[in-house]
Amino acid sequence: MFCRGSEIDGTIYAISMNKNILPFLLIVFGLCFGNVRMVAGPPFRTDDPIPVPFQHGELYLFSTAVFDAGGASGIGPAVEFNYGILPNTQFHLILPMAFSALKGEASHIGYGDTEIGIKFRFVDQSVYMPAIATFPLVEIPTGNASIHLGNGETQIYLPIWLQKDIGKWTIYGGGGYWINPGIGNKNWGFTGLLIQYNFTDTFFLGAELFHQMPSFMGAKAYSGLHVGGGIPIAKEYQILFSTDLGNGIASYKHFSYYFGLYHTF
């Protein structure tokens, strides 16, 4: 989920919470109980095909942003909520605070575009077969596009994700197509592959190689490399982080990060 103003996704991660919503969400986050499990997807852009187990859930409190020659934009704090509504089926929701500080323009902060989706795994992993799922997303234009806190139009993402576990290694990847209406916008594709080493059930490090097509007029396709991982900080909590090392791969020079607190229940 991204807002217009940076070449990453053509729209910055854009969702937010106002001052009244944030304390409530923090309380909800703290009252949920469960055990941290290994996660895929966040903190990386490439997603995985594994839905949250039936009648279980997970919460992320996170921030992510992009800094380049045109300025900075991103979201944070933001909340991601996933819940297993049926076997092999997960409901997904992101509620974020977007910000924009573009060169030559005033800085802005406010509620951005709301993301909802359903992840459905239709092939289970076996000895020879990877897990396979689809995870369509809808970006609802609740942010103010005139100040770069949203896209201004409903966006739809149609991906396919695959995953195979080999001992302590996890490999997942795939890609999809973004339907991205709006003046100056372009439909675009994304593909990614991630390799992750799991030291324990809650401690992992990984590297992600991805490629995306231009999402608006004047942008260029580019590839990137993210590195990151997850570190347990308590029985029920885990820190997730990643950063972009792709400046040596593409001519698009920038810095990006993801930093979040993860919890399951």
pLDDT at 246: 65
Other CB atoms within 10 A of residue 43 CB: 25
More confident position, 40 or 6: 40
Number of residues in the chain: 265
Q: What is the DSSP letter of 31?
A: H
| pLDDT band at residue 253 under the 50/70/90 scheme | confident
Strand locations in 16-128, DSSP E? 57-68, 71-86, 89-102, 108-111, 114-123
pLDDT at 124: 97
The span from the CA of 53 to the CA of 122, in Å, is 14
The span from the CA of 174 to the CA of 156, in Å, is 17
Judged against a pLDDT cut of 90, whether residue 70 lies above it is answered with no
The span from the CA of 142 to the CA of 118, in Å, is 19
The span from the CA of 104 to the CA of 155, in Å, is 27
pLDDT at 219: 84
Judged against a pLDDT cut of 60, whether residue 36 lies above it is answered with no
The span from the CA of 172 to the CA of 40, in Å, is 9
Contact in structure between 11 and 4 (CB atoms under 8 Å): yes
pLDDT at 71: 92
Lowest pLDDT segment from 151-160, 204-213, 248-257 = 248-257
Number of structural domains (the chain) is: 1
Residue 7 in domain:
no
| Residue 156: CATH number of its domain | 2.40.160.40
Q: Which residue is listed with tokens 């991906």?
A: 159
Judged against a pLDDT cut of 60, whether residue 9 lies above it is answered with no
Show the domain range for 180.
Answer: 21-264
Residue 198 in domain:
yes
Q: Which residue is listed with tokens 């573009």?
A: 102
pLDDT at 220: 86
* HSE-up of residue 184 (Cα within 13 Å, Cβ side): 9
pLDDT at 214: 92
Rounded to an integer, the average pLDDT of 75-89 is 97
| pLDDT band at residue 249 under the 50/70/90 scheme | low
Lowest pLDDT segment from 9-23, 53-67, 184-198 = 9-23
Judged against a pLDDT cut of 60, whether residue 31 lies above it is answered with no
Rounded to an integer, the average pLDDT of 31-36 is 34
Residue 128 in domain:
yes
More confident position, 27 or 144: 144
| pLDDT band at residue 247 under the 50/70/90 scheme | low
The span from the CA of 43 to the CA of 146, in Å, is 29
Residue 151 in domain:
yes
Residue 14 in domain:
no
Residue 15 in domain:
no
Strand locations in the chain, DSSP E? 57-68, 71-86, 89-102, 108-111, 114-123, 131-134, 137-140, 155-166, 169-179, 188-198, 204-212, 222-234, 237-244, 254-264
Residue 187 in domain:
yes
Residue 208 in domain:
yes
